Amino acid sequence: MKMRRLTLLFAALVALTGVKAQTFTEWRDPNVNEINRQKMHSTYKVFESVAKAEGEYCDEQNPYRLSLNGTWRFNWVENADQRPTDFFAVGYNDKGWDRMEVPAMWELNGYGDPVYVNIGYAWRGNFRHDPPNVPIEQNHVGSYRREFTLPAEWSGRDIELNIGAATSNVYVWVNGKFVGYSEDSHLGASFDITKFVKAGQNLIALQIFRWCDGSYLEDQDLWRLSGISRDVELVARPKARLQDVMITPALENNYTDGSLAVEMEFSAAVKQAEVKLLCPKGEVVAEATVKPAKGKASHTFEVKAPAKWSAEAPNLYKVVIAVDGEAYAQRVGFRTSEIKDGLLLVNGQPVLIKGVNRHEVDPLKGFVMTRERMIQDIRLMKQFNINAVRTCHYPDTPEWYDLCDEYGLYVIDEANIESHGMGYGENTLAKEPRYAKAHLERNSRMVERDKNHASVIIWSMGNEAGFGPNFEACYRWIREADPSRPIHYERAEGNDFTDIMCPMYADLEWCEKYLQSSPKKPLIQCEYAHAMGNSMGGFKEYWDLIRKYPQYQGGFIWDFVDQGLAQYEADGKVSFYYGGDYNNYDATDNSFNNNGMIAADRTPQAHAYEVRREYQSVWTRAVDLMAGKVEVYNENFFVGLEPYAMVWELQQDGVVTKAGRIEKLEVGPQQRKAFTLGYKQEDICSEAKEVVLNVRYELKQKQPLLDIGYVVAAQQHIIKEYDTAAAFALKESEREVKVTKFEKSTQVTGYDWVVGFNREGFINQIEYGRQTIVADDSALRPNFWRAPTENDIGARLHTRYGVWRNPAMVLKSFDAKVEDGVAKAVAEYEMKSVEATMRITYTINGEGEIRVEQAMTTSAEAKVQNMFRYGVRLELPAEYNVVEYYGRGEVENYADRKSAADIGHYVQRVADQYNEKMARPQESGTRSDLRYYELKNTAGAGIRIISDVAFSASALPYSQEAMDVTVGPLQRHSGDLKADGKTHLCFDLEQMGLGCINSWGQLPLEKYRVEYKDYTFNFIISPVR
């Protein structure tokens, strides 16, 4: 690495800016992004003694730090030209001002409304994009005032003001005098205020604009909020001090031995400094004395066989630098990151990136992230086998990187640049000379701040900001300043200004074509598997391809957590608001900011479990399942399986009949090993209809953030598969059946049951004893529709497939009679709107069991769209509120999202079937590969459904119509759904998959679509008494 080696152009631009005086036009001048802002430096910790620096990695108790968090006096105006212009004066009367906490976002505290847009800036529709000009109207301005008392013991020290982050800019005054100015909403700004402060009480004043010229570079896909989102503090520094340090690890001798190059910058008063290296146990393993020349010094520590850092084993060393009465600590890891032979290598290994994109959005605090929330997010990532995170689309809170270092996550660190609203053509700001300096500043300051973090393995120059000379300059600067990490930028596509092929939402066909082209760059999708709503179908196919091609090294799911903001309703219930919920006059992209595999309240969505299964790193391969022989594969690159125990279960017809545990799993990284489990062929019952082997891997001891017994991986293998066709038959019955025809209906009756048909030929009455199965005004009818998912809506399937919403079925003939001891009824229909016919045949035995053959014949010449499903629907009274099934569970699952849903026996409440954590109502609750499905009341009475093939079903307290947001207002919430007194049952021969390639047009993979063709669905409804 090379310490602060700026290009001459950049150095000149910075120097030119630094001497510019305040004009109050900086907020719309792209040539002025800062005034008097100090150079960015790495985020080392500062302590008052070496002993403390060698101890706990936290400097919050340093007596030379003074937090300015808390309550400030606050003034807010709606339009920029209404802002106060003399409020910073010491004698200004602010008694009428409001109060505002710091850090806090204005919009979440009653000042303006939260606005969400994906593309196009928050002023979209009200102001023409005209960089660097931004609106005056609706450009809210917040002005802050606060007094502080300078501690007496700080006398003789230099005083720094650190503002962690302010959106979109910040002006600073101290004691009535102008100090400086800064832009960039996601990086800190430091100012030397030594000459502005005095002993005793002082006044600090800040002014922040909602929008400035820099806002054109901040068109990220997230809430548009304003205010101070990170800590504000004062720091007193001695005259003799460390200014910056860059620590560059290297690994030699086949990545076995290591070195740490420590390059330091000191103030002029420093004559000598002590440098120590502490191992992960906290012991000093090396030390040296350095004497700066012209403020710079360096030392390289050579370490034999160091404990290396990786996301799997985050071993951290600590560099401690002592200067006079102050000491500094920086945690570091022996870790390399490079592109070699077309692969991304970490410590020489071609790691798999099992990643997510994560916005810094808290449902209660907006952009303000607490340590507790960050640890919660990392715990969830660890629980769901995520090993990498992209800081979309800006640098995160500095503490986030400390935590990623500590707990082990690979990080793509991304600069705060997105100008998506300007497009990618000639108007892109990547080609705009007036924004060249801002591009370079935002990238260089990120690198300077985060350069020492072991977790940061890739730099990203920005997101969706076009491509042009401004990014070429950024790439060259980063490459010179830090040659130790690859550089990533999606809009560079295949050119020389990205080291990784990092597309967004590339489908499987595109990926495989690239991988078969002998590429020179690894393929790591910066965004893929769009997780909006009920989604993530086809995720397994992505990972099948990733595991097939070594150069396909993974990707980053879009995205980690829904951006919903908590809103307390009048009844005390918490709703999570999305775009457009706060007002109807601002621009909005509605629910498009709810794309998380985790809900806003940090509850895992159903599709998170699919991610956990596909991202797991321990796999079991069947060798000879009848004899209990398997092979275990350790997909990790750096750690063995010693921390885990294997737990296996032999499950027969949904019941565990034998189980065991293997404590000793000595399987090294990337190694395979055979194991024989503790069952034999004679343990498998020959009478069992289905036999499966469940294997899971549990932690034997507690790990950071994961408890003992936590399951890190699981798999299911079918030993003997259920024969649905063999089990599909009506019972033999000697009981009499009777058919009675009325003018508008037909009844089939038995000893204590009734099945009735309405005038349309559909079953509208089923009674078993005293149990009424069919709800009033309901009937057993063919069903081709579902409440559209977010992906369906994005592909406009509610319009394209609209003919299947409720196609007219005109009854052409109906007949019912008793034949061979059973009742038989046949109904034939014409379906002109879909150019098809339907024949439904009913066979009812003396026990009241109903066998149905629902056969649709289509026209080969017709140009009719596909359908959502081919199945049946029925409404039952709400008393049937328990589902019991044998099939895939326990979470909802679909044809293209079921690898994490194991076959088993499950009993659940109807009330729990709908996923209320989804932002908007949509299809939910389906269980697939069913062998049988029962819907019962609490007394255990109800119905059982079987088919001659594995089928899917759902039972919900809401109708398809209630969940269909494409009819009526789109702006609805799942939490607003109201149970209607019925249980809504759907069961299907086929239902279309969910898809995940994107949410704006791509369909599920072809094999998971329900095509327009002939179908026959055979099923039996029988009583459960």
State how far the Cα of 672 lies from the Cα of 621, in Å rounded to an integer. 10
Q: Which residues make Cβ contacts (< 8 Å) with residue 212, sequence separation at least 6?
A: 26, 27, 28, 134, 168, 169, 183
Tokens encoding 503:
């597309």
Of 793, 849, 817, whose CA–CA distance to 970 is shortest? 793
The token pair at 356 is 């997510």
| Contact between residue 933 and residue 885 where contact means Cβ atoms under 8 Å apart | yes
Residue 863 makes CB contacts below 8 A (sequence gap 6+) with: none
Q: Record the tokens describing residue 751, joined without a space.
A: 């000893």
DSSP state of 365: T
Query: Would you say 892 and 922 are in contact if contact means Cβ atoms under 8 Å apart?
Result: no
Query: For residues 1012 and 836, what is the distance between their CA atoms, to the nearest angstrom?
Result: 10
What is the SS3 string spanning 6-19? CCHHHHHHHHHHHC
Catalytic residue chosen out of the listed positions 34, 263, 441, 464: 464
In whole angstroms, give the CA distance from residue 493 to residue 499. 10
Query: φ, ψ for residue 421 (rounded to 5)?
Result: -65, -15
**What's the CA gap between 560 and 359, in Å, rounded?**
8
DSSP 3-state of 976 = helix
Q: Is 527 a catalytic residue?
A: yes
Give the dihedral sign, CA 950/951/952/957.
negative
Choose among 259, 284, 381, 294: nearest CA to 51: 284
Contact 242, 259 (CB under 8 A): no
CB atoms within 10 A of CB 909: 12
Contact 936, 878 (CB under 8 A): no
Name the nearest CA neighbour of 696 among 652, 641, 655: 641
Exposed e or buried b per residue across 133-161, where buried means at least 16 C-beta atoms within 10 angstroms of its C-beta: ebbeebbbbbbbbbeeebeeebeebbbbb
Nearest to 187, CA basis, from 7, 471, 383, 398: 398
> Which candidate in 34, 527, 790, 923 is catalytic?
527
Q: Is 913 exposed, middle or buried (0-12, 13-18, 19+ CB in 10 A)?
A: buried
State the greatest distance between any 2 C-alpha atoms of the chain, in Å, as a whole number. 108
Instruction: At 404, give phi and psi (nearest 5°).
Output: -65, -40
The pair of three-digit structure tokens given for residue 680, joined into one six-digit string: 């034999």
Q: Given CA atoms 261, 266, 272, 275 in this order, what sign does their dihedral have?
A: negative
Q: What are phi and psi of 380, to 5 degrees?
A: -60, -40
Cis peptide before 890 (omega within 30 of 0): yes
Three-state DSSP class for residue 176: coil
- Start-to-end CA span in the chain (Å): 76
**Alpha helices for 901-998 (secondary structure H):** 960-963
Q: How far apart are CA 664 and CA 671, in angstroms?
A: 15
Annotated catalytic residue 464:
yes
Q: Which of 251, 316, 256, 340 is CA-nearest to residue 553?
A: 340
Give the β-pairing of 552-557 and 317-323: unpaired
443 close to 372: Cβ distance less than 8 angstroms:
no
- Asked whether 374 and 391 are in contact (CB, 8 A), the reply is no
3-state SS assignment for residue 909: strand
What is the C-alpha separation between 32 and 25, in angstroms, rounded? 9
The catalytic residue positions are 464, 527
